[in-house]
C-alpha cells in the first residue's frame, strides 16, 4: 500500500517502517553507550574525590576492601596484561596458521568441516572454559610443573587463548580470502613457490585485516571475566611468574559485584573506577585496530 504525498510521490510504508526501525536501533545503541559512559564518569569522579589519581594509577598495592586500604590499580592491570600476553602467545600463531591453511591449502570439503568446528569454540560459555581450566588444564600442568598453584595465570592464559582463537582464525581467513586470485596467479607465473606466494604475497596483502583481528582478539582477552575469575584466582599480584595466583580487572569487578560491599562507599566506587579504566583500554585497542584497517588497507580494482 502506498500513500500519496502533496508532491505526488508515493511513500512505501514497508520501507519507511524498516528505515525507522533501523534508525531506532541505532539510536538505542548510541543512548545506551552514552548512559554507560555517563555512569562510569560520575562514579569515577566521586571515587577520585577521595583517592588521588597518582595513587590509583601508580600505586603498587590493591587492598580496597580491608584496612588499611590501598588503591593502587597496577596489580590488577598487570594481572590483566599477564593473562592477555599469554593468551596472545597461544592464540596468534595458531590462529594465523589456521587461517593460512583454511584460505590457501584446505580443500573445499575440509574447509566446510574444519571452519564450523573451529567457530564452534566461540559458542561455548566462558564459565565452561573456566571450569575446564580449573579441572583439566591446571591438573595437567601440575604433572609437568609441580610447584604450580591451584589458581594461576598460566592456566588462565591458555584457556583465554583457546577462547580468542576462533576470532583470529575467522577474521584472518576472511582477510586472506579477500586478496584477489590475480595476485596469486601472477606470483606463480613468476616462478614463486606455494610458500613464497603465501608468505610474501597473500599475507602482506591481507595484513590490515590480520592485524585488526589480532587487536580485536586481544581486546576480547582483556575483557574476559568468568574464565580468568575461576582459573587465575583473586590475588592482586605484581609477580612476573605465570605460576602464581593473580587478579585481573574483570575478576575484581566480579568480586565487588557479588553484593558483599556496601553501596556508596569508596570501596564500592572502585568498581566504577576499574571499569572506566578497562573501558578506556578496550576503546584504545578498538581504535588502534580501526587505524590498522584504514592505514594498511589495500584497495584492488
For the chain, which residues make up each domain, given as ranges? 2-49, 63-295
Spatial contact of 229 and 251, defined as CB atoms under 8 Å apart: yes
The x, y and z cell numbers of residue 27, run together, are 539510536
pLDDT digits (tens, 9 = 90+) for 199-210: 899 998 888 889
Task: Please say if the pLDDT value at position 118 is more than 70.
Answer: yes
* Cα-based distances in Å from 58 to 34, 53, 266: 28, 8, 18
Q: What is the pLDDT of residue 9?
A: 53
- Per-residue confidence band for 1, with pLDDT thresholds at 50, 70 and 90: very low
* Cα-based distances in Å from 112 to 43, 165, 287: 49, 18, 33
Whole-prediction pTM value? 0.85
Q: What is the pLDDT of residue 30?
A: 92
pLDDT digits (tens, 9 = 90+) for 246-287: 999 998 988 887 766 777 778 888 889 999 999 999 888 888
**Fold classified for 63-295:** MetI-like fold (1.10.3720)
On the 0-12 / 13-18 / 19+ scale of CB atoms within 10 A, 294 is exposed
- What does DSSP assign to residue 123? G
pLDDT digits (tens, 9 = 90+) for 183-222: 888 989 988 888 899 989 999 888 888 988 898 899 889 9
Amino acid at each position: 500500500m502506498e500513500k500519496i504525498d502533496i508532491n505526488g510521490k508515493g511513500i512505501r510504508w514497508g520501507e519507511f517502517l524498516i528505515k525507522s526501525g533501523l534508525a531506532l536501533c541505532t539510536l538505542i545503541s548510541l543512548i545506551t553507550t552514552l548512559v554507560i559512559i555517563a555512569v562510569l564518569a560520575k562514579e569515577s569522579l566521586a571515587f577520585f574525590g577521595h583517592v588521588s589519581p597518582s595513587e590509583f594509577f601508580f600505586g603498587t598495592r590493591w587492598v580496597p576492601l580491608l584496612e588499611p586500604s590501598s588503591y593502587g590499580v597496577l596489580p590488577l592491570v598487570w594481572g590483566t596484561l599477564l593473562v592477555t600476553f599469554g593468551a596472545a602467545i597461544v592464540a596468534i600463531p595458531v590462529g594465523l596458521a589456521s587461517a593460512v591453511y583454511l584460505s590457501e591449502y584446505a580443500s573445499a570439503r575440509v574447509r566446510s568441516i574444519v571452519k564450523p568446528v573451529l567457530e564452534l569454540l566461540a559458542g561455548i560459555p566462558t564459565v565452561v572454559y573456566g571450569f575446564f581450566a580449573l579441572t583439566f588444564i591446571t591438573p595437567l600442568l601440575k604433572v609437568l610443573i609441580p610447584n604450580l598453584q591451584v589458581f594461576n595465570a598460566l592456566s588462565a592464559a591458555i584457556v583465554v587463548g583457546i577462547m580468542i582463537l576462533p576470532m583470529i582464525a575467522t577474521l584472518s581467513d576472511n582477510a586472506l580470502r579477500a586478496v584477489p586470485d590475480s595476485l596469486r596467479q601472477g606470483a606463480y607465473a613468476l616462478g614463486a613457490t606455494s610458500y613464497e606466494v603465501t608468505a610474501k604475497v597473500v599475507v602482506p596483502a591481507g595484513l590490515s585485516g590480520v592485524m585488526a583481528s589480532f587487536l580485536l582478539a586481544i581486546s576480547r582477552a582483556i575483557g574476559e571475566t568468568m574464565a580468568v575469575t575461576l582459573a587465575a584466582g583473586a590475588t592482586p599480584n605484581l609477580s612476573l611468574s605465570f605460576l602464581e595466583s593473580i587478579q585481573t580487572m574483570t575478576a575484581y569487578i566480579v568480586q565487588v559485584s557479588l553484593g558483599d560491599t556496601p553501596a556508596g562507599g569508596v570501596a564500592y566506587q572502585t568498581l566504577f573506577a576499574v571499569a572506566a579504566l578497562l573501558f578506556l583500554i578496550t576503546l584504545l585497542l578498538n581504535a588502534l585496530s580501526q587505524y590498522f584497517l584504514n592505514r594498511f588497507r589495500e584497495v584492488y580494482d
